Amino acid sequence: MSMKLFLENNRGILLAYDQGLEHGPTDFNDRNVDPAFIMELAASAKFHGVVFQKGLAEKYYNGRVPLVLKVNGKTSLVKGEPLARQNCSVERAHEIGAKAIGYTIYVGSAHEGIMLEEFGRIQEEAHKLGMAAIAWIYPRGEAIKNDTAPEIVAYAARTGLELGADAVKIKYTGDVESFRWAVKSAGKAKVFMSSGPKAPSEVDFLRQVRGVLDAGATGLAVGRNVWQNSDPSRMARVLRRLVIEDRSVEEALKV
């Protein structure tokens, strides 16, 4: 299934906002705690997709940006080997207007088999309804010593391709050369960087993004580094210049 709908110049920036479930409202401030603020930001800043869980999509999604509906998730309250199970049917995601489903797989977890199986079924259901399947692939659990080690990130990328994901969302390894191998390992599955907690500075974050693009990735899914910024709209403009217009970090910052 094509990811075309989420791309511009073959690149894409997705605005991720499922942290309320994954981390709790601790990530939020008075402004960005309101999903309506995020919906407006996604539309006005022309993101290529917005990522919600079902509850937010049902109450706040207004159709102005393609929707990626996360159909699994977990809270951070449970400890031990990670498992995130399906909480929304693919059919319901389609009714709400999703153009893609998102699903997190914790590869390396003692429970990975359950997620591999669920994703396999969900991918087939999504494709039948004309929706893309995006896999968040996070190596995690006791067996994973370093989730950004090059061979682990490349394995995550390849897992997505093997399972039929149209796009994979993976962490940056920290250097262009090793990430290029991860992108290559993902084959025809598009690679999006998973952005992570707010970086120490804008330049640090933008250099990571520049690195993944130089390695051949399609773009990024970003939450905290945009909506925790003191000026999220400006940060979105900077990202568009970097990712879609393919400028350098220094050029991109001249908004």
> Which residues of this chain interact with ligand FBP, rule CB under 6 A?
16, 18-19, 22-23, 51, 136, 194-196, 221-225
Output 244 or 254, the one with its CB closest to ligand FBP: 244
Q: Cβ of residue 158: shortest distance to ligand FBP, in angstroms?
A: 19
- Given 99, 169, 171, 190, which residue is catalytic? 169
Which member of 54, 138, 171, 190 is catalytic?
138
In angstroms, what is the minimal distance from the CB of 87 to ligand FBP? 14
Residue 103 appears among annotated catalytic residues: no
112 vs 130, beta carbon nearer ligand FBP: 112
Q: Which helix (H) or strand (E) holds 135?
A: strand 132-137
Least gap, CB of 227 to ligand FBP (angstroms)? 8
Q: How far is the CB of 22 from ligand FBP (least distance, A)?
A: 4
Quickly count: other Cβ atoms within 10 Å of residue 23's Cβ: 15
Smallest distance from the beta carbon of 73 to ligand FBP, in angstroms?
8
**Taken in order 7, 10, 16, 22, is the CA torsion positive or negative?**
positive
Distance in angstroms (rounded) separating the CA atoms of residues 56 and 39: 10
Answer for the pair 178, 137: CB distance below 8 angstroms, yes or no: no
Task: Label the pairing between strands 98-105 and 67-70.
Answer: parallel
Nearest CB to ligand FBP, comparing residues 74 and 130: 74
Exposure string for 52-70, b = 16+ CB within 10 A, e = fewer: bbbebbeebbeeebbbbbb
Give residue number: closest CB to ligand FBP: 223
Question: Is 171 part of the annotated catalytic residue set?
Answer: no
Cβ distance to ligand FBP smaller for residue 105 or 128: 105
Q: How would you class 130 by CB atoms within 10 Å of its CB: exposed for 0-12, middle for 13-18, buried for 19 or more?
A: exposed
Instruction: Put residue 46 in one of left, alpha, beta given phi > 0 → left and psi -120 to 50 → alpha.
Output: left
**CB of 130 or CB of 225, closer to ligand FBP:** 225
**Active centre residues (catalytic):** 138, 169
